[in-house]
């Protein structure tokens, strides 16, 4: 499953999917059907963290696909990650989000880590289930990541970190954290550090109770005098902001793929229900108003698919512009919200009830318009990239 040329990959994925891609999709779909869908509602209601399900996903070989083969990983590209995430998120976006969080947290190490750091920090993820968390967001630093207040100060051969991170996926369950802190209070001083679970002064704060994606763990991460060896600094001093932006530019395609999975699942539910539900002595699928809704939903899902995999192919080819990943993330997230909302409407009163799956899909979809950069920010990134002419 090498990267190959962009043109060849586009043809192979969208027109005649390669057998490797088809095999991976079949595997991910089997895992979603057998391991995720049967328990999705249970974990959504209980808000328990789905350790047993994640263990089975890991056993199936679907975790941390981007880790290079020399370290023991699969060494796959963003295209394959998007295939897996689309299928798993269609089963349950909350459960699949643990994989996205790992991708997000490990990418800085892939971007800027030394070979020794990559082997030491990423190698363990290839041998057993381990979770990671990306520590960028703070209470006053969401879309404006450069406003973060977590401080790092050099002390001999180590750095001391102090601050609080907010809304961190896997924050309470991670084995490894990539933490961003500023040396001088400015964006130019932001530096990235890898911090192992159990380090003195590192703890999980409040776990958030959320509208959707309830099977995922979202917590504060507290850093109180955390001593990090200089050898655990990822990249150079002051390179953290650039590393974070490059990481988000890569990971947004995977987020977009998850949103696509939600939208696809909601459309499928709506089509099946419209075939079965009788009103006015015929299936509602034969009513003109429902036909219009289903047609619009289907067009947006397929347009999202093309944007998602175009973005993934650009990333796989090593292109660093955020243009396509921002387009994919914003469009697919808006599509997930629109299609899930229309699915609820097609189900009518039943769609508003927890007994039917579209209620959960609607709740899960909303966050994709917010996290990893709001959709308003994505549109700003798109416009500025076009104006600069660096697409």
Where is 224: in which H helix or E strand?
Answer: strand 218-229
Phi-psi bin for 156: left (phi > 0), alpha (psi -120 to 50), beta? left
How far CA 222 is from CA of 98, 110, 125, 162, 301, in Å, comes to 20, 25, 24, 8, 39
Burial 18-48 (b: 16+ CB within 10 A, else e): beebeebbebbbebbeebbbebbeebbeeee
Q: For the range 17-21, what are the long-range contacts, defined as Cβ-Cβ under 8 Å and sequence gap of 24 or more?
A: 21/79, 21/80, 21/83
List the one residue out of 33, 34, 32, 4 whose CA is nearest residue 18: 4
In the chain, alpha helices (H) = 6-10, 19-31, 37-46, 51-59, 78-91, 93-112, 115-127, 240-276, 288-316, 323-347, 357-366, 375-388
Helix 288-316 to helix 240-276 angle (10° resolution) is 150
State the DSSP code for 150. -
Inter-axis angle of helices 323-347 and 288-316, nearest 10: 160
Catalytic one of 35, 313, 359, 372:
372
Q: Give the sign of the dihedral formed by CA 92, CA 354, CA 219, CA 168.
A: positive
d(CA 334, CA 352): 20
| 19 counts as catalytic | no
Could you tell me if 302 and 370 are in contact, meaning their C-beta atoms sit under 8 angstroms apart?
no
Just list the catalytic residues.
372
């Amino acid at each position: 499953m090498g990267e190959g040329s962009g043109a060849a990959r586009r043809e192979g994925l969208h027109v005649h999917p390669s057998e490797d891609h088809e095999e991976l999709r079949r595997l991910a779909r089997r895992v979603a059907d057998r391991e995720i869908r049967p328990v999705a509602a249970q974990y959504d209601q209980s808000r328990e963290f789905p350790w047993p399900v994640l263990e089975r996903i890991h056993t199936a070989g679907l975790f941390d696909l981007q880790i290079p083969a020399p370290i023991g990983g699969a060494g796959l590209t963003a295209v394959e990650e998007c295939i897996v995430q689309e299928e798993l998120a269609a089963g349950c976006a909350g459960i699949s989000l643990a994989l996205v969080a790992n991708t997000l947290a490990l990418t800085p190490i892939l971007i800027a880590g030394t070979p020794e750091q990559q082997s030491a920090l990423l190698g363990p993820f290839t041998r057993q289930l381990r979770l990671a968390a990306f520590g960028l967001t703070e209470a006053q630093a969401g879309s404006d990541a450069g406003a973060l207040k977590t401080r790092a100060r050099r002390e001999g051969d180590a750095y001391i970190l102090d601050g609080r991170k907010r809304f961190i996926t896997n924050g309470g369950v991670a084995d490894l954290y990539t933490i961003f802190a500023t040396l001088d209070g400015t964006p130019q001083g932001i530096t990235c550090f890898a911090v192992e679970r159990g380090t003195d002064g590192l703890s999980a704060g409040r776990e958030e109770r959320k509208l959707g994606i309830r099977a995922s763990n979202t917590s504060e991460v507290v850093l109180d005098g955390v001593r990090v060896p200089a050898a655990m600094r990822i990249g150079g001093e002051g390179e953290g902001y650039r590393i974070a932006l490059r990481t988000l530019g890569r990971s947004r395609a995977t987020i977009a793929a998850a949103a696509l999975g939600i939208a696809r699942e909601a459309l499928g539910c709506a089509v099946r229900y419209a075939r079965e539900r009788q009103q006015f002595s015929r299936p509602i699928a034969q009513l003109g108003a429902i036909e219009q809704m289903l047609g619009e939903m289907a067009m947006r899902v397929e347009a999202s698919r093309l944007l998602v995999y175009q973005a993934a192919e650009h990333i796989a080819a090593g292109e660093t512009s955020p243009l396509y990943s921002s387009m994919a993330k914003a469009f697919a997230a808006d599509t997930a919200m629109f299609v899930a909302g229309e699915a609820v409407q097609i189900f009518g009163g039943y769609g508003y009830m927890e007994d039917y799956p579209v209620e959960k899909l609607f709740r899960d979809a909303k966050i994709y318009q917010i996290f990893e950069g709001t959709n308003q920010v994505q549109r700003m990134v798109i416009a500025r990239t076009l104006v600069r002419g660096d697409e």
